[in-house]
Structure 1
Amino acid sequence: MSGKRKAMIPARLVRSGTLLRIVSTFKGAPCGRLPRPMLSRMNGDLAAGADRGTAAAQDNARPVVDTRRLPVRRRAPYAVSPSIGPEGARACLELIEAGHRLFTERGYHATTTTAIAEATGRSDAAFYQYFDGKQALFLLLFENLGRDLVAQFAALPPIAATPAGLAALREWLAGLGAVLNRHSASLLEWPTPDEADEEPSENPQEAYIARLAGAFRDRLPHADFAGLSPRAVALVVTSLTAYGHFVLDVRNRGLRTEATAPAVLDDALSRVVHRSLFPDAYPARKPGRPGGPGGVHPPARSAPEQLPGLRRPVTRRGHATIKKITEAAIATFEARGLAGTSVNDIIAAAGVAHGTFYTYWADRAAIVATLTHQAAEAVLAHLATLLDAGSTAELGAWLAGWLDVVADHGPVLHVWAADIVDEPLLQPLGIEVDDRLRDVANRLLADSPVLDGLDENARTTALWTVLAELPRSAWRRNPVLTRDEVLRAQTLLLARGFLGWPL
């Protein structure tokens, strides 16, 4: 890819009138929920699957649903017969495939039943003959994700603390990545608000998680989980694989050189996971400040009243209102995505009047500008101190502070990358953040034997996935892990897996 290098994370939003030129980016057609390369793989492009072997390529080509699980009876009222024959089954399958495509392109909340029906040339009435709403269709897709994950985990071979064990783990992770890519819409959009409120005993994901945990317990009997449960380790590996490829797709869009192949990331992740679980199979390294002396100086933070996106200077009395509305916006973006969130949704979540919102921001684009700038500054400030950690204890303390950054800004960082990374006016700060991230990754991992020989993009992708996407996905958005479990997992992966330090 030629031309100016783009950023993994978007850029500093220009002030004053120039900022308003980006409004059209957030209006009109729904923003894509997944990066384009990931979309192409999900829609039948087997080129990426070929990098993972014939079996993975064939897996990508399978339908997103098991036809044996389709409805067998129409919902009332029906025109002639409640039974679903061959033509009805074909219509139902087309609706499911259209829903999967639209959930992928637009997100769950920005997709309507009317849009799904129209994508197949049918009416709403035809849709409701098979499903009582889009949630029922989405749950069918999620059940198929669970089915395929259980099958993939059942195929996990025994993993030993040997080169052959590492090779087996790498091959299995490639297959897991293929499954997760094919079901990315279900994975990235789960849970919808209704499922998020369910008790664990009623949440359909719990039955699948129990089987994934059982596979890890049985196939890795000699692994050192460092106090984490097999359930937690299985979820960590699944999250790293799924969101590692999401991050890689975003980063590949901004490279001037040839894109990093998914197989290279599979190699990096398998090395990190294997060393984390089998530390005695590798030479131990003495902890010390990574990258030598001399840390990275944190940037100056903007005053709250000077943040981009604000339409007027903010007085001291307005700071509490700004904080209330921005926190509500972040929570709404996490639950609904950018395309599914309107100004009215933010106002309702914040419990303020419309006039209060419009006192500070002109529209949704403006508040996104404010949030992305805040997120970038928080990331830059905390990354600047990572290289000062010279022991496992200091690394754990740094990670504890980093989780506060993720808790405050993780949804914005994800929306930023997923939905608006290509906006030209958002590039300068994004390049600054990306340069800082690559610099820290290179210095942190300069002497790491685990990632020796891997390209810079794969190393940086693996690090960012562990730092940002793992806690955002498995702790904040879909809390299948506790904060303590995520912190222990990050410490395990970063200390043992990346650096080779003892715990």
Structure 2
Amino acid sequence: MPAETAAGPTRPLTARGEATLRRLLDAAEAEFGERGFHAASVSSITARAKVSQGTFYIYFPSKEAIFSALVDQIGHALRKHMALAVAEDTDPLLAQRDGLEAFLDFVQRHPGLYRIVQECQFVDEPAFRTYYERLAEGLSRSLQRDVGPGGLTPGDAQVRAWAIMGIGHFLGLRYGLWQKTRPRKAVMDEVMSFIGHGIAAKTSGARR
């Protein structure tokens, strides 16, 4: 039998139960991503997952519950994907580039990402905020860690994290969602020039 948890889906105690939960979440991602929260239904999710509606309710009490759990799961998967992409980077700017490219790769692998996360603002606003806040927390920690000689200049890591996330968000929107492609190298070179140097002209002896 599954085991009850304080938050999130009811966690199964067997490999078979874990596989069923995985199928339900995968089906929910496809269904919500293609049809949106309001058009999707428990019956359409269970049909995709090839399980009964009775089985669904063992793991989730409602459509809203699986939607919120899905947003949490997507956020966790995205953070893990990005962390693995930068794990061996020693150059701070290379790590930022690899992190952005990992995000854009994730967008291509999960075409429903934008629709699901944006709808979450109206279905479960705390989960919506948590999705972004956890991304920002991880990024700000890495930015703060890399401050120092040969690394990054001192500054507000939280502000920088949200700014970089904004860049990634709209790159994903333009290229991953609308054009269904990855930005060319020249595009990423320009992005990293912006992140690394800004857009203000540098003059000799200029004061900040």
- Specify the SS of the correspondent of 1:324: helix
Residue of structure 1 in register with 2:72 after alignment: 373
Show the 5 A alignment for 1:230-241: none
Structure 1 contact 399–487 (Cα < 8 Å) conserved: no
Q: Indicate the residue corresponding to 2:25 in structure 1.
A: 326
Greater share of helix: 2
Q: Which residue of 1 aligns with 2:113?
A: 410
Question: Is 2:143 the partner of 1:437?
Answer: no
Once the two structures are TM-superposed, the CA of residue 316 in structure 1 deviates from its matched residue by 0.6
Whether contact under 8 Å (2:24, 2:56) holds in the other structure is yes
Match of 1:467 among 168, 172, 191: 168
Q: What is residue 153 of structure 2 aligned with on the other side?
A: 447
Distance 1:497 1:471, change over 3 A: same
Larger Cα Rg: Structure 1 or Structure 2?
1
Q: How far is 1:405 from its partner? A: 3.6
For residues 12 and 97 of structure 2, what CA distance do their matches in structure 1 show?
39
CA distance in 2, matches of 1:489, 1:421: 38
Report matched runs for 1:271-282 at 5 Å.
none
C-alpha change, 1:492 and 1:341, in structure 2 (3 Å) is farther
Aligned to 2:125: 422
| TM-score of the pair, normalised by structure 2 | 0.62
Equivalent residue for 1:341? 40
- Report the AA paired with residue 63 of structure 2: R
Q: Give the CA RMSD over aligned residues.
A: 4.2
For 1:314 and 1:375, locate their aligned partners in 2 and report how far apart those are by CA, in whole Å: 22
Shift in CA distance, 323/332, structure 1 to aligned 2, threshold 3 Å: same
Cα separation, partners in 2 of 1:396 and 1:384, compared to 1, 3 Å: closer
Which residue matches 1:236? none
Cα 1:421–1:488 shift into 2, 3 Å: farther
1:341 aligns to what SS in structure 2? Answer: coil
Contact 1:325 1:350 in 2 (8 A): yes
Tell whether the 8 Å contact from 1:399 to 1:490 is kept in structure 2 after alignment.
no
The one of the two structures with greater contact order (alpha-carbon pairs below 8 A, sep at least 6) is: 1
CA drift at 1:348: 3.6
Change (3 A) 1:356 1:389: farther
Provide the C-alpha distance between the structure 1 equivalents of 2:90 and 2:173, rounded to a whole number of angstroms: 23
Q: Report the number of matched residues.
A: 186
Q: Name the TM-score, length of structure 1 as normaliser.
A: 0.30
Percent of pairs identical after alignment? 23
Give per-residue Cα distances to partners, 1:192-228, cap 9 Å, x unaligned.
xxxxxxxxxxxxxxxxxxxxxxxxxxxxxxxxxxxxx
Residue 361 (structure 1) aligns with: 60
Offset at 1:420? 4.5
Q: Distance in 2 between matches of 1:443 and 1:494?
A: 22
- C-alpha contact 1:378 1:405 (8 A) present in aligned 2: no
Going from structure 1 to structure 2, the CA distance change for 1:473 and 1:494 (only over 3 Å counts) comes to closer
- Secondary structure in structure 2 of the residue aligned to 1:486: coil
Distance in 2 (CA, whole Å) between partners of 1:332 and 1:473 is 23
CA distance in 2, matches of 1:359, 1:413: 25
1:492 equivalent in structure 2: 189
Structure 2 CA distance for aligned equivalents of residues 427 and 394 of structure 1: 25
